[in-house]
Structure 1
């Protein structure tokens, strides 16, 4: 390669020396194309000079410097190429041209302006020549088409008759399917929807096959079929299958199978217009144009193709202008039909405490939808302007492009329309799901009462995100169909592969995490449901609630880590920072850490549960709330106490396994203890005879005897073993029965006595009492 570059440089230098060595720039220019045949003697002398220059490093460097200086003064592409070639041949690299920023910007804008001007000029020239596309008509097209129609008359009538007969049978089947779909769930409705599309497509295939059989065995020579008949039958198959797709989406005869959120009248209106346009394009391009091409000329076929495309675009423009207001209203309703608006209004009124009374004049009339604000509202109200702009562009393409290009443009437009309809259908289905909500079977609601509400909280948000994704996908596919972007090339690029892979991975992580969370919370709900399975104890309720909260927090953190890892962020520094932050928080929040650690051990040791009666320090009450950090108590006065676990040094649980009703009874010193014991035993027997109290008593009366000698009474002690939490009530009931038995047996229950001493003199006298009567006399 170096040898070749050196040889080219030598030839150029030789030409410059032969033709005029006074100016290197002129010599190079002449060597590139303007040189004449030199004198042979002069050429041999110059060749010797050239060899000396090449062999001498200093001379060769001086020549290169002179050529670089010439490049600076004469900025021509030829000079640049020569300098670069000579520099490469000598082993040196050519320096980049040092241009100012404003010069570079000027060159860029100059190139853009020139390209734009040339493009506009070429486009305008094509537009001015556009009417010439119809010069291909020779006048013989009508006769050719009438002749072809005569040849195809019998097969056309037979095929259409079979098709209409089968379609009439199919409509009855669609009606029954639609009635069943109105009473079925989502899965069965989807099955009926797919079955209706399969039946409709099967009708087309059967009619096409019968047409082929008639053309092959009944018309013309047995076992042979004409090319025109083949063209018609193939066009019939493709066109009618496209119509099947239109009918499948709009379902004009089955409201309950319609994925497109439009009314019955709109579905029938759109179905008829779209089927007509599909038939016009399909039969025109697949049948009429090939016949004209083979029997008249290709220019006539192109003219027919352009005429068909022009008619279709004109019909589309007329439809947009005619229906711009109804479509705008439909878009402002969010793609909902008037029936959906009426249903939502009735549901909202039913949820109100005092729903307004319906007016006979407004029954069945939906309230006007609120006008959308922002960019979406403006786009919904003026949707026809971008649609008309697109159709005008298509009109220009039809006129200026060849017939096959115009047909491809129309096919791309059909793909765009199909994708838009599918996107609207999916969005409408999601809207109906968001409006009606997720409805689970009653059997599942009984077992998992919170699952439906939980799904209705998250599913609408997920459907909103999915609707946004569908909108972006529809716009991208539409731009790709009209060749504004290369969607396939972008998705095949490294950026597209990485981005789509990341999006799918993140979506999969979020879906799996949501599924795990729903399964975990549903299992906890099932375990806490007292109507199914074993009844959960108080400790199980507390531990399951704490486990659900802890698992939710852990799942959120793990999911966040996975998502950050999938989008390319290095989570190792994040984990290290989290560790350092956790250590700092641990030092700064030792009390909080102590609360959590103490709470964990209290729960593991089953010290108390929700509903227990406990005493924590000087506070006692019923446990109403128990978290990993604190406990909430409600005392007898109704006061609520929130106690952190770090301040709990002892837990007294009054309702664990059993409880004792302790009775310390005081009797007079004069009473016989044996009689007192018998009276207390008899009182216990009387208490046990009460069924309500007997259900709470777990054993016989335990007699302990004399417990203490008081100032006024002898205190005897006994106790009754009771079910946990019932000993207070049993003790109070026993005290009541015991008072009745002591009174009946004249056993004194003493109270404190006080002796009043007034003092006395040495002679034994004391101060007399003065008692005043009611009349005031002493």
Structure 2
């Protein structure tokens, strides 16, 4: 790159020119021509970037030094040595290096723009000012402007009754709460009419321009600039009228007072008018009629004054707008309230950055800056409004509930709740995707990155493809789980045709199966999703296998609990609600999981018993209940009379319909089953419905006591034998047996 500077003798060659010449493989004549040509700004940038990359790397810098020393040591009469720019080796850059590169890049571009502006002001060719031509062009320009503005104001006044009617109609329908579509339709319709009137005014302006140009091409060009500026500025004002609508409050989409709406509409209209007509009309006419130096200075002065005024206006109203935005957030839905409060916190910074950016763009690129800012602004507003509309609709749908028919709710009790849950989750996902799309569109509107190229090739295309497949997988998993779970819940509930409730065993097994199904579907879905987003699940599966093997060795008791519980359930050993005795614990089964059973005693104590600790257990609700009743009577009573009395008590008990419904078959009388020195025992046994044996037994005891008392059948008396060990004559040597005290 520096060889031409070394071999040129007294002639100095700049680095950009040398870089441009070094990249050309041509004859010496062409090289001399390249050396004599002035390098462009792009050549300078390329040379600076290439040299910076070479000097930044240690290896390439040392290689360049070696080549320079070799070139300096060559004889003066020899051919110029050729320098091969060393390739900069790739190396990892730190965050600080990246920030430095970006700062250097944009700083260089900013410096180049400043230099370009300086050259425009200082070195632009002067042009002789012709007063007569200027006055002639100005008169024709003013005639067109006055005629066009007059016509546009006239047709806007004539359309005022239409706007009032549409506002009253939309607001009346909205106040009646009959439909919420009329007011947005009226607002959009008024905006469309505004655009149609603007189109008509531009058409009439073009016709007037054909008659008011005096056949002069310069006047035609200036009038064309005015018509373009008029179309652009009035379109922006139409957007302002759509937002603030100061003259027709019924068409105002936001809750603003008439004073605030008129305040902001007037100032923003004046601001847009000054910027638009200043940049698109005044500055080009000055540059054409006077010279470029005055036009550049006028551009800087106009935009500087407008930028200062705009920033003062923003900072002056910062707190008022922040307060109004917070009030709007309080009236909005929760989803929108977050974004509105965040915007209220930083809106003044964004507005200041907007006008500062407009200032620099208008100074550096006055021809296209305003069109770019206006187009980006309109696209931003349209994107935000569209995203807010779609998000608002989705938010309203999220708040609604799908009501299934009564027949479906009877057959599938949890189906409505489950369907609403999945639908709300999908709507929230769609709302999140809407917010993401709005952010991408906003970045694309300001040319931060090329959205359409990103979507058509590269990571954007893959992201869209993966997102679609992930959503489809989630939908299929949700549908599959909903159908299977609903079928299981249908078996767990009785139907409208009188189908009885399933047994406790069936309910327990179906519940366990539903839980296992949920775990299986969730695991498979997660694995498929990880595979779709590019995660290699082979190590996960291998790791899961190794982890499962380790867990199996360390949790043998847990595995034993699960296996024992499964076999007990398949054998229908116990179910929820059964009265059981497990070891020393007797109580009601309240909960059964895959690892343990929960038993509640009559004292209120709750016991959790692992399945593996159960060796034997008793279940009181399997098939039947039974009990054996033994009654002891005095030995001196007549056996036949006692049996007859007992049979009479049982017969009277069986006449009770409630008790009889609990008894299966007939009671069995065993007669005399025990004999002692003081009493004998009679027995009767009952077979009852499960868990009804205690009720029947208590009723039987009461009935037997009643009959035994009526028949004066005595229970055995306890006796006490007293043995005499002294010489008292009142007792014989064998002692005496005395009855126990009553």
TM-score normalised by structure 1 residue count? 0.62
Relative to structure 1, is the Cα distance of residues 507 and 80 closer, same or farther in structure 2, using a 3 angstrom cutoff?
farther
- Is it true that 1:264 corresponds to 2:232 in the alignment? no
Distance 2:283 2:100 in 1: 47
Cα distance in 1 for partners of 2:651, 2:737 equals 52
Q: C-alpha offsets along residues 14-42 of structure 1, whole Å, 9 cap, x if unaligned?
A: xxxxxxxxxxxxxx999745999xxxxxx
Q: Is the 8 A contact 1:513 1:559 kept in 2?
A: yes
Q: Residue 667 of structure 1 contacts residue 748 of structure 1 at CA under 8 Å; is this kept in 2? A: yes
Of residues 492, 501, 504, the one that matches 2:456 is: 492
Match of 1:167 among 163, 166, 181: 163
Higher relative contact order (CA 8 A, sep 6+): 1
What is the alpha-carbon root mean square deviation over aligned residues? 6.3
CA distance in 2, matches of 1:253, 1:282: 26
1:119 aligned partner:
109
Structure 1 residue 643: deviation in Å?
Answer: 0.9
How many angstroms apart in 1 are the aligned matches of 2:355 and 2:31? Answer: 57
- Deviation at 1:585? 1.8
Report the Cα distance in structure 1 between the residues aligned to 2:513 and 2:446, rounded to whole angstroms.
Answer: 55
Q: What is the CA–CA distance in structure 2 between the aligned matches of 1:198 and 1:505, rounded to whole Å?
A: 36
Residue of structure 1 in register with 2:363 after alignment: 399
* 2: CA distance, partners of 1:285 / 1:707: 121
After superposition, the C-alpha distances for 1:60-113 in whole angstroms (9 at most, x for unaligned) are: xxxxxxxx997761289xx999869xxxxxxxxx996799999xxxx9999989
Residues 430-454 of structure 1 show CA distances to partners (whole Å, capped at 9, x for unaligned) of 8x879xx946378899979989999
- Distance in 1 between residues matched to 2:591 and 2:675, nearest whole Å: 43
Indicate the SS of the match to 2:368.
helix
Find out whether 1:325 has 2:291 as its counterpart.
no
Cα separation, 2, equivalents of 1:208 and 1:545: 64
2:578 maps to which of 612, 615, 621? 612
Distance 1:271 1:658 in 2: 88
Q: Is the 8 A contact 1:564 1:571 kept in 2?
A: yes
Q: Is the 8 A contact 1:197 1:244 kept in 2?
A: no
CA distance in 2, matches of 1:471, 1:629: 45
Residue 124 of structure 1 aligns to a residue whose secondary structure is helix
Q: CA deviation at 1:741?
A: 1.8
Give 1:170 deviation, angstroms: 1.9
Contact 2:134/2:289 (8 A) holds in 1:
no
CA 1:547–1:619: 2 relative to 1, 3 Å: same
Partner in structure 2 of residue 351 of structure 1: none
1:655 pairs with 2:651: no
Q: Where does residue 19 of structure 2 map in the other structure? A: none
**1:614 CA displacement:** 1.3
Distance apart, 1:697 and its partner CA: 1.9
CA contact (8 A) 2:167 2:187 kept: no
SS state of the match for residue 265, structure 1?
coil
Once the 2 structures are TM-superposed, how far is the Cα of residue 483 of structure 1 from its aligned partner?
A: 2.5
* Partner of residue 501 from structure 1, selected from 465, 469, 477: 465
- Could you say which residue in structure 2 is the equivalent of 1:644? 610
Return the offset for 1:702: 2.0
| Alpha-carbon distance in 2 for matches of 1:674, 1:254 | 106
- Among 63, 70, 73, which residue is 1:73 paired with? 70
Hey, what does 1:384 align to over in structure 2?
348
Q: What are the Cα deviations for residues 109-145 of structure 1, in whole angstroms up to 9, with x where unaligned? A: 9998986665333322455589999x99956777546
- Residue by residue over 1:572-600, the C-alpha shift from the partner in whole angstroms, topping out at 9 and shown as x without a partner, is 23223212322232232221111112212
Matched, 1:337 2:329: yes
Q: CA contact under 8 A between 2:322 and 2:344: conserved in structure 1? A: yes
Name 1:766's counterpart in structure 2.
733
**Mapping for residues 93-242 of structure 1, pairs under 5 Å:** 118-126=108-116, 143-144=139-140, 147-148=143-144, 151-152=147-148, 156=152, 159-161=155-157, 163-179=159-175, 181=177, 192-193=180-181, 196-203=183-190, 205=192, 242=239
CA distance in 2, matches of 1:708, 1:502: 84
1:666/1:750 contact within 8 Å kept: yes
Confirm or deny: 8 A CA contact 2:723 2:736 kept in the other structure. no
Which deviates more, 529-538 or 677-686? 529-538
Distance 1:316 1:744, change over 3 A: farther
Query: In structure 2, which of residues 672, 675, 681 is the aligned counterpart of residue 714 of structure 1?
Result: 681
Instruction: Quote how far apart the aligned CAs of 1:736 are.
Output: 1.4
- Counterparts of 1:627-638 in structure 2 under 5 Å? 627-638=593-604
2:358–2:369 contact (8 Å) kept in structure 1:
no
Change (3 A) 1:544 1:444: farther
- Rounded to whole Å, the distance in 1 between the matches of 2:103 and 2:453 is 28
8 A Cα contact 1:629 1:644, kept in partner: yes
Q: Distance in 1 between matches of 2:668 and 2:506?
A: 37
Which stretch has the larger CA shift, 443-452 or 624-633? 443-452
Selected match of 1:559 from 525, 528, 537? 525
Task: Give TM-score, length-normalised by structure 2.
Answer: 0.65
Which residues of structure 1 form unaligned runs of 5+?
Answer: 1-27, 37-67, 85-93, 345-368
Judging changes above 3 Å, is the alpha-carbon distance between structure 1 residues 472 and 423 closer, same or farther for their aligned structure 2 residues? same
Q: Contact 1:713–1:751 at 8 Å: present in 2 too?
A: no
CA distance in 2, matches of 1:101, 1:406: 41
Contact 2:595–2:610 (Cα < 8 Å) also in 1 = yes
- In structure 1, the residue corresponding to 2:733 is in which secondary structure? coil
Q: Per-residue deviation at 1:407? A: 1.1
- Whether the 8 Å contact between 1:178 and 1:254 is mirrored in structure 2 is no
- 8 Å contact from structure 2 (residues 171, 250) kept in 1: yes
* 1:687 shift after superposition: 3.5
Any idea what SS the aligned residue of 1:160 has?
helix
Asked if 1:549 is matched to 2:515, the reply is yes
Contact 1:721 1:727 in 2 (8 A): yes
CA change 1:455–1:80 in 2 (3 A) is farther
Which whole-Å CA distance do the structure 2 matches of 1:639 and 1:621 have between them? 9
Task: String of CA shifts for 1:465-498, please: whole Å, max 9, x gaps.
Answer: 8887666655544333223333333333323322
Structure 2 contact 565–611 (Cα < 8 Å) conserved: yes
Q: Distance in 1 between matches of 2:501 and 2:266?
A: 63
**Deviation for aligned residue 1:379:** 8.9
CA distance in 1, matches of 2:510, 2:238: 57
Deviates most, 703-712 or 466-475:
466-475
Alpha carbons 1:611, 1:623 under 8 Å: kept = yes
Extract unaligned runs of 5+ from structure 2: 1-23, 33-64, 214-222
* Counterparts of 2:638 and 2:230, CA distance in 1: 121
User: CA–CA distance in 1 between the matches of 2:513 and 2:189?
Assistant: 56
1: distance between equivalents of 2:703 and 2:366?
111
Q: Residue in 2 aligned with 1:440?
A: 401
Match for 1:409 among 373, 381, 384?
Answer: 373
Given that 1:699 and 1:720 are in contact with CA atoms closer than 8 Å, whether structure 2 keeps it comes out as: yes
Q: CA–CA distance in 2 between the matches of 1:517 and 1:547? A: 12
